[in-house]
Amino acid sequence: MTAGPTILATGPWTPEQVTYTWLDEPYEAAPEATAAADAEIQRLKDRDSPSHDGVATRLAAHRVDDDGALHLDLEPVRWALRLLPGGAARSMTGQCVVRDHEGRWLAGRRAAWVATWAGRWSLGAGGAVDPGESPMRTLERELDEEWGVAAERIDGLSLVLLPNDLVMFVGIAWLAPGAEVDRDPEHDAHEWWPADVDAWPAHAEPTLRGLARAVQGLT
């Protein structure tokens, strides 16, 4: 049986309730992981996908204080390690689920040329946490970069460890009435899915339905 995600901490959190300490010493992966990451980067180059490597952010530790606030210890990590199927080294990514004032869910189909989730549908906006960046800022930045829109409100919802050892910081952005999205080239289509998850189209993957229901449970 395949292991599912592990919930490390749950909110909700306001932006002020998510703090972090940046540790300057970079994480050093095992030699075999480094070699595997090199191979993954070459694989991306071979299919003409973005193959830039660089420095990303790793979750070294976390705690939830007595007042419910979340504090993270973050450190530099090689970005390419997140490409390893079973060894992402706790690299951090932000996932910003987006809903409009009617409760509908923003879904986008990833273009065929992108490095991850090519040709698949995803909810909202997402991407790596930049070095020295709060994950709450990641949600705001990715929303602007991918959809060209600012949220009326953004809350942090959960810190999740995925089976591939990637850490996902999940949040939700609520858009104001009349807000319009302008998708970036990383998406080749987008749709507004109904507020009722059971009414979603057939191409909505079970993992997305599960994510939406988990979000509903925290908001």
C-alpha closest to that of 85 among 116, 120, 127: 116
pLDDT for residue 88:
86
For 46, counting Cβ atoms within 10 Å of its Cβ (0-12 exposed, 13-18 middle, 19+ buried), the class is: exposed
Fold adopted by 6-218: Nucleoside Triphosphate Pyrophosphohydrolase (3.90.79)
DSSP state for residue 111 in the 8-state scheme = P
Give the pLDDT of residue 3: 63
Mean predicted confidence (pLDDT) in 41-57: 81
Residues 86-98 have pLDDT tens digits of 788 999 999 999 9
d(CA 136, CA 143): 11
Q: Where are the domains of the chain?
A: 6-218
- Amino acid identity of residue 210, one-letter, is G
- 159-184: pLDDT as tens digits: 999 988 999 999 999 999 999 999 99
Mean pLDDT of the chain: 92
**β-bridge pairing 105-110 and 121-123:** antiparallel
pLDDT in tens, 129-163: 999 999 999 999 999 999 999 999 999 999 999 98
- How far lies 50's CA from each of 21, 113, 115, in Å? 30, 8, 6
Percentage of residues of the chain with pLDDT beyond 90? 79
Beta-bridge mates of residue 96 = 125, 171
pLDDT value of residue 49: 73
Name the residue among 21, 22, 16 with its Cα closest to residue 68: 16
